Chain A
Amino acid sequence: MSNVEADHTRDPCPLVIISDFGGAFAMGVVGGCVWHGIKGFRNSPLGERRLGALSAIKARAPVVGGNFGVWGGLFSTYDCAVKAVRKREDPWNAIIAGFFTGGSLAIRGGWKHTRNSAISCGILLGLIEGAGILMQKWMAPPVQPMYDPNAQPLGA
Protein backbone atom coordinates (compact mmCIF):
# COMPACT_ATOMS: atom_id res chain seq x y z
CA MET A 1 0.00 0.00 0.00
CA SER A 2 1.48 3.36 -0.97
CA ASN A 3 1.42 6.39 1.30
CA VAL A 4 -1.27 7.96 -0.85
CA GLU A 5 -3.57 4.99 -0.30
CA ALA A 6 -2.80 4.59 3.41
CA ASP A 7 -5.72 5.32 5.68
CA HIS A 8 -4.30 7.63 8.33
CA THR A 9 -7.65 8.18 10.01
CA ARG A 10 -7.54 4.68 11.46
CA ASP A 11 -5.60 3.79 14.54
CA PRO A 12 -2.43 1.82 13.54
CA CYS A 13 -3.69 -1.26 15.42
CA PRO A 14 -3.41 -4.22 14.80
CA LEU A 15 -0.51 -4.06 12.30
CA VAL A 16 1.53 -2.11 14.84
CA ILE A 17 1.71 -5.33 16.89
CA ILE A 18 3.86 -7.01 14.23
CA SER A 19 6.04 -3.93 13.87
CA ASP A 20 6.47 -3.71 17.65
CA PHE A 21 7.34 -7.40 17.87
CA GLY A 22 10.03 -6.96 15.20
CA GLY A 23 11.36 -3.75 16.71
CA ALA A 24 11.62 -5.25 20.17
CA PHE A 25 13.27 -8.41 18.77
CA ALA A 26 15.86 -6.33 16.90
CA MET A 27 16.53 -4.23 19.98
CA GLY A 28 16.98 -7.37 22.07
CA VAL A 29 19.34 -8.95 19.54
CA VAL A 30 21.52 -5.82 19.36
CA GLY A 31 21.58 -5.48 23.15
CA GLY A 32 22.18 -9.22 23.54
CA CYS A 33 25.13 -9.05 21.13
CA VAL A 34 26.76 -6.29 23.16
CA TRP A 35 25.97 -7.84 26.55
CA HIS A 36 26.89 -11.44 25.78
CA GLY A 37 29.78 -10.40 23.55
CA ILE A 38 31.43 -8.61 26.45
CA LYS A 39 30.52 -11.39 28.86
CA GLY A 40 31.85 -14.12 26.54
CA PHE A 41 35.02 -12.11 25.92
CA ARG A 42 35.71 -11.65 29.62
CA ASN A 43 34.95 -15.24 30.57
CA SER A 44 37.19 -16.79 27.91
CA PRO A 45 40.89 -17.61 28.38
CA LEU A 46 43.54 -15.47 26.67
CA GLY A 47 43.92 -16.40 23.01
CA GLU A 48 40.32 -17.68 22.80
CA ARG A 49 38.57 -14.45 23.67
CA ARG A 50 37.30 -13.50 20.23
CA LEU A 51 36.00 -17.01 19.64
CA GLY A 52 34.45 -17.07 23.12
CA ALA A 53 32.67 -13.78 22.50
CA LEU A 54 31.37 -15.04 19.16
CA SER A 55 30.13 -18.33 20.65
CA ALA A 56 28.36 -16.50 23.48
CA ILE A 57 26.70 -14.13 21.00
CA LYS A 58 25.57 -17.01 18.79
CA ALA A 59 24.16 -18.93 21.74
CA ARG A 60 22.51 -16.18 23.75
CA ALA A 61 21.72 -13.11 21.61
CA PRO A 62 18.76 -14.74 19.77
CA VAL A 63 17.32 -15.80 23.13
CA VAL A 64 17.50 -12.24 24.47
CA GLY A 65 15.95 -11.01 21.22
CA GLY A 66 13.14 -13.56 21.54
CA ASN A 67 12.44 -12.52 25.13
CA PHE A 68 12.30 -8.85 24.15
CA GLY A 69 10.15 -9.67 21.13
CA VAL A 70 7.62 -11.63 23.16
CA TRP A 71 7.38 -8.80 25.68
CA GLY A 72 6.98 -6.17 22.95
CA GLY A 73 4.43 -8.18 20.99
CA LEU A 74 2.34 -9.00 24.05
CA PHE A 75 2.46 -5.43 25.31
CA SER A 76 1.41 -4.07 21.95
CA THR A 77 -1.40 -6.63 21.67
CA TYR A 78 -2.77 -5.70 25.07
CA ASP A 79 -2.33 -1.97 24.37
CA CYS A 80 -4.40 -2.28 21.20
CA ALA A 81 -7.03 -4.37 22.99
CA VAL A 82 -7.32 -1.91 25.87
CA LYS A 83 -7.53 1.01 23.42
CA ALA A 84 -10.33 -0.71 21.51
CA VAL A 85 -12.28 -1.44 24.69
CA ARG A 86 -11.84 1.95 26.37
CA LYS A 87 -12.03 3.95 23.10
CA ARG A 88 -9.61 6.40 24.63
CA GLU A 89 -5.90 7.14 24.30
CA ASP A 90 -4.21 8.04 27.57
CA PRO A 91 -1.43 6.79 29.90
CA TRP A 92 -3.79 4.30 31.58
CA ASN A 93 -3.74 2.15 28.43
CA ALA A 94 -0.02 1.46 28.82
CA ILE A 95 -0.34 0.84 32.55
CA ILE A 96 -3.19 -1.66 32.08
CA ALA A 97 -1.37 -3.29 29.15
CA GLY A 98 1.79 -3.58 31.27
CA PHE A 99 -0.22 -5.16 34.08
CA PHE A 100 -1.59 -7.83 31.73
CA THR A 101 1.77 -8.37 30.02
CA GLY A 102 3.57 -8.92 33.31
CA GLY A 103 0.86 -11.30 34.44
CA SER A 104 0.81 -13.28 31.20
CA LEU A 105 4.56 -13.76 31.12
CA ALA A 106 4.61 -15.09 34.67
CA ILE A 107 1.56 -17.36 34.38
CA ARG A 108 3.60 -20.56 34.49
CA GLY A 109 5.11 -19.61 37.84
CA GLY A 110 1.90 -19.86 39.86
CA TRP A 111 -0.74 -17.34 40.86
CA LYS A 112 1.43 -15.48 43.41
CA HIS A 113 4.17 -15.00 40.86
CA THR A 114 1.59 -13.91 38.28
CA ARG A 115 0.02 -11.37 40.66
CA ASN A 116 3.36 -9.93 41.80
CA SER A 117 4.73 -9.74 38.28
CA ALA A 118 1.57 -8.06 36.96
CA ILE A 119 1.61 -5.42 39.72
CA SER A 120 5.36 -4.77 39.31
CA CYS A 121 5.07 -4.42 35.54
CA GLY A 122 2.07 -2.08 35.88
CA ILE A 123 3.94 0.12 38.37
CA LEU A 124 7.07 0.16 36.20
CA LEU A 125 5.11 1.24 33.14
CA GLY A 126 3.30 3.87 35.22
CA LEU A 127 6.70 5.26 36.23
CA ILE A 128 7.92 5.25 32.61
CA GLU A 129 4.73 7.00 31.45
CA GLY A 130 5.06 9.56 34.24
CA ALA A 131 8.70 10.20 33.36
CA GLY A 132 7.74 10.59 29.68
CA ILE A 133 5.02 13.14 30.49
CA LEU A 134 7.37 15.08 32.79
CA MET A 135 10.07 15.12 30.10
CA GLN A 136 7.55 16.36 27.53
CA LYS A 137 6.47 19.20 29.83
CA TRP A 138 10.06 20.07 30.61
CA MET A 139 11.12 20.12 26.95
CA ALA A 140 8.05 22.03 25.71
CA PRO A 141 8.76 25.67 24.81
CA PRO A 142 7.15 28.26 27.12
CA VAL A 143 3.84 29.67 25.90
CA GLN A 144 4.41 33.06 24.23
CA PRO A 145 1.87 35.85 24.92
CA MET A 146 -0.28 36.51 21.83
CA TYR A 147 0.01 39.89 20.14
CA ASP A 148 -3.21 41.36 18.79
CA PRO A 149 -2.42 44.04 16.17
CA ASN A 150 -5.97 45.46 16.41
CA ALA A 151 -5.93 45.89 20.16
CA GLN A 152 -6.40 49.36 21.57
CA PRO A 153 -3.23 50.70 23.19
CA LEU A 154 -3.35 50.64 26.95
CA GLY A 155 -3.26 53.92 28.83
CA ALA A 156 -2.34 57.16 27.06
Chain B
Amino acid sequence: MSNITDLFNPPPSRDLSEKEVENCFYCQAMATITAFGAGVYFGTGRVFKNEKPGVNPLWWKKSVKLTGVGLIGYGIYRFGENWLWNKPNRD
Protein backbone atom coordinates (compact mmCIF):
# COMPACT_ATOMS: atom_id res chain seq x y z
CA MET B 1 0.00 0.00 0.00
CA SER B 2 2.42 2.63 -1.21
CA ASN B 3 2.70 4.51 -4.45
CA ILE B 4 6.47 4.68 -4.03
CA THR B 5 7.05 0.95 -3.58
CA ASP B 6 4.71 0.36 -6.54
CA LEU B 7 7.41 2.05 -8.62
CA PHE B 8 9.82 -0.80 -8.03
CA ASN B 9 7.24 -3.57 -8.06
CA PRO B 10 4.52 -2.29 -10.41
CA PRO B 11 1.07 -3.88 -10.18
CA PRO B 12 -0.42 -5.27 -13.40
CA SER B 13 -2.12 -2.69 -15.63
CA ARG B 14 -5.90 -2.58 -15.24
CA ASP B 15 -8.91 -0.29 -15.37
CA LEU B 16 -10.07 0.84 -11.94
CA SER B 17 -13.66 0.09 -11.02
CA GLU B 18 -16.13 2.86 -10.17
CA LYS B 19 -16.05 1.69 -6.54
CA GLU B 20 -12.29 2.24 -6.37
CA VAL B 21 -12.38 5.84 -7.61
CA GLU B 22 -15.65 7.01 -6.10
CA ASN B 23 -15.64 10.13 -3.95
CA CYS B 24 -15.17 9.76 -0.19
CA PHE B 25 -14.91 12.09 2.80
CA TYR B 26 -11.14 11.67 3.12
CA CYS B 27 -10.67 12.25 -0.61
CA GLN B 28 -12.68 15.44 -0.47
CA ALA B 29 -10.93 16.71 2.67
CA MET B 30 -7.49 15.98 1.26
CA ALA B 31 -8.31 17.56 -2.10
CA THR B 32 -9.73 20.67 -0.40
CA ILE B 33 -6.75 21.13 1.91
CA THR B 34 -4.21 20.50 -0.85
CA ALA B 35 -5.91 22.79 -3.35
CA PHE B 36 -6.32 25.60 -0.78
CA GLY B 37 -2.74 25.26 0.50
CA ALA B 38 -1.14 25.17 -2.93
CA GLY B 39 -3.53 27.85 -4.21
CA VAL B 40 -2.68 30.29 -1.41
CA TYR B 41 1.04 29.58 -1.80
CA PHE B 42 0.98 30.16 -5.55
CA GLY B 43 -1.72 32.81 -5.67
CA THR B 44 -0.24 35.18 -3.09
CA GLY B 45 3.18 35.10 -4.73
CA ARG B 46 4.92 33.62 -1.68
CA VAL B 47 6.47 31.11 -4.05
CA PHE B 48 8.65 33.90 -5.50
CA LYS B 49 9.69 35.40 -2.16
CA ASN B 50 13.47 36.04 -1.96
CA GLU B 51 13.87 35.03 -5.60
CA LYS B 52 17.04 35.70 -7.56
CA PRO B 53 16.44 38.74 -9.80
CA GLY B 54 15.89 38.00 -13.48
CA VAL B 55 15.21 34.28 -13.04
CA ASN B 56 11.42 34.42 -13.26
CA PRO B 57 9.93 36.39 -16.18
CA LEU B 58 6.71 38.30 -15.57
CA TRP B 59 4.55 35.99 -17.70
CA TRP B 60 5.76 33.02 -15.63
CA LYS B 61 4.92 34.74 -12.35
CA LYS B 62 1.48 35.67 -13.67
CA SER B 63 0.87 32.10 -14.88
CA VAL B 64 1.81 30.68 -11.48
CA LYS B 65 -0.46 33.22 -9.72
CA LEU B 66 -3.31 32.38 -12.07
CA THR B 67 -2.78 28.67 -11.37
CA GLY B 68 -2.97 29.53 -7.67
CA VAL B 69 -6.26 31.36 -8.12
CA GLY B 70 -7.59 28.39 -10.11
CA LEU B 71 -6.53 26.03 -7.33
CA ILE B 72 -8.32 28.15 -4.73
CA GLY B 73 -11.44 27.99 -6.92
CA TYR B 74 -11.08 24.23 -7.19
CA GLY B 75 -10.64 24.02 -3.42
CA ILE B 76 -13.90 25.94 -2.89
CA TYR B 77 -15.66 23.65 -5.37
CA ARG B 78 -14.40 20.50 -3.65
CA PHE B 79 -15.22 21.93 -0.21
CA GLY B 80 -18.87 22.36 -1.06
CA GLU B 81 -19.30 19.30 -3.25
CA ASN B 82 -21.87 16.75 -2.07
CA TRP B 83 -23.40 18.98 0.64
CA LEU B 84 -23.75 22.47 -0.87
CA TRP B 85 -23.87 21.57 -4.55
CA ASN B 86 -23.67 18.41 -6.67
CA LYS B 87 -25.69 16.67 -3.98
CA PRO B 88 -26.02 12.93 -4.53
CA ASN B 89 -29.45 11.77 -5.61
CA ARG B 90 -30.87 9.85 -2.63
CA ASP B 91 -33.99 8.55 -4.41
Which residues in window 1-60 of B have CB below 8 A to A?
1-4, 6-11, 13-17, 19-22, 24, 26-27, 30-31, 34, 47-48, 51, 55-57, 60
Is B69 close to A, CB under 8 A? no
Is A9 close to B, CB under 8 A? yes
Contact of B15 with A87 in the complex, beta carbons under 8 Å: yes
| Shortest distance from the beta carbon of B3 to any chain A beta carbon, whole Å | 4
Contact of B4 with A11 in the complex, beta carbons under 8 Å: no
Partner of B55, one of A90, A109, A129: A109
Contact of A19 with B21 in the complex, beta carbons under 8 Å: no
Task: Name the residue of chain A whose CB is nearest to the CB of B5.
Answer: A23
| Shortest distance from the beta carbon of B54 to any chain A beta carbon, whole Å | 9
Contact of B14 with A89 in the complex, beta carbons under 8 Å: yes
* CB neighbours of A80 from chain B (8 A): 3
Contact of A88 with B20 in the complex, beta carbons under 8 Å: no
* CB neighbours of A83 from chain B (8 A): 16, 21
Partner of B3, one of A20, A90, A108: A20
Which residues in window 59-97 of A have CB below 8 A to B?
72, 75-77, 79-80, 83-84, 87-91, 94, 97
- Prevailing SS type, chain A contact patch: helix
Is B72 close to A, CB under 8 A? no
Contact of A17 with B30 in the complex, beta carbons under 8 Å: yes
In the bound complex, what is the Cα–Cα distance between A150 and B11 (angstroms)?
A: 35
Task: Name the residue of chain A whose CB is nearest to the CB of B23.
Answer: A84
Contact of A77 with B21 in the complex, beta carbons under 8 Å: no
- The answer to whether A89 and B16 touch (CB under 8 A), given A110-B60, A111-B57, A132-B8, is yes
Binding site for A on B (CB under 8 A): 1-4, 6-11, 13-17, 19-22, 24, 26-27, 30-31, 34, 47-48, 51, 55-57, 60, 64
Q: Top 3 nearest A-B pairs by Cβ distance?
A: A90-B13, A14-B30, A79-B3
**A-B contacts besides A10-B22, A72-B4, A132-B9, 14 pairs, CB < 8 Å:** A14-B31, A15-B26, A16-B3, A17-B3, A19-B1, A19-B2, A88-B13, A90-B14, A91-B10, A94-B3, A94-B6, A107-B64, A111-B56, A129-B7
